[in-house]
Amino acid sequence: MAIDWGKFIKNRSEIPPEALEKYMGQWIAWSPDGTHIVAASAKSDEEVLRQLEEAGLDPSDHVMGYIDDDMGPI
């Protein structure tokens, strides 16, 4: 499934920074529509990929990122 980037960016921009605080210092995977985080790990991005695969989700359908301790999502 191809990510609809317009929809993803719109939905992602509507999530308040406070909602992401619990993910600070972690790698994350966003849902394809940008409405929520489906996997997270402070260990590594490989761990997030493993979580997606264990859940039966295709990693290529998700947006990976890192929530920096002080700079917000990258």
Taking residues 14-41, report their average pLDDT.
96
What pLDDT digit, counting tens, does each position of 35-71 carry?
A: 999 999 999 999 999 999 999 999 999 999 999 887 5
Residue 74 pLDDT class (50, 70, 90 cuts): very low
Give residue 2's pLDDT.
83
* pLDDT at site 72: 45
Question: What is the rounded CA–CA span in Å between residue 5 and residue 11?
Answer: 10
The position carrying tokens 């909602």 is 19
**Backbone φ, ψ for residue 33 (5° rounding):** -95, 0
